[in-house]
Amino acid sequence: MRRAFLASLAALAVSACAYTPDPLDLIHVVDDATDVRFCRRLAEVSPVVPTTPGFEGALESMLAQTVALGGTHLYLNKQTADWLLVRGIAYYCEGSAAVSRAVVVRAKG
């Protein structure tokens, strides 16, 4: 009984170390310009889109483009007072835990 418990505990510990978050989950989605005021603007990642049903697809696209640009934050810029229309803008914020940058040196030969 004790051996089975220790084996299951070891398997649980090993599986917890193997978790790798999806890059899209690391992007911070913000709706206030003050959250990105000290960040570098990368690009607009969407035209003005409605937040009606089906917005999830547009949001996923904005997140994917933010990751592709190396961004850490997605700013949803409100275009109307009722949040019916928004525009996505990708930002890179220095020191953010969202994206870790590493330099890789490869030797040829």
- Tell me what pLDDT residue 61 has: 94
Dist CA 83 CA 98 (whole Å): 26
Task: Judge whether 75 lies within some domain.
Answer: yes
Q: pTM score, two decimals?
A: 0.69
Residue 96 has pLDDT above 90, yes or no: no
What sections of the chain are H helices per DSSP?
2-17, 55-68
pLDDT for 30-82, tens place per residue?
Answer: 999 999 999 999 999 999 999 999 999 999 999 999 999 999 999 999 999 99
68-79 burial, b for 16+ CB within 10 Å, e for fewer? eeebbbbbbebe
Task: Judge whether 70 lies within some domain.
Answer: yes
- Tell me what pLDDT residue 98 has: 46
**What type of residue sits at position 77?**
N
Position with higher pLDDT, 94 vs 109: 94
- Tell me what pLDDT residue 95 has: 78
Mean pLDDT in the chain?
Answer: 83
Q: Domain containing 56 — which CATH number?
A: 3.30.110
CA dihedral over 37, 41, 45, 47, signed as positive or negative: positive
Range of the domain at 85: 21-109
Contact, 91 vs 36, CB < 8 A? yes
* Tally of domains within the chain: 1
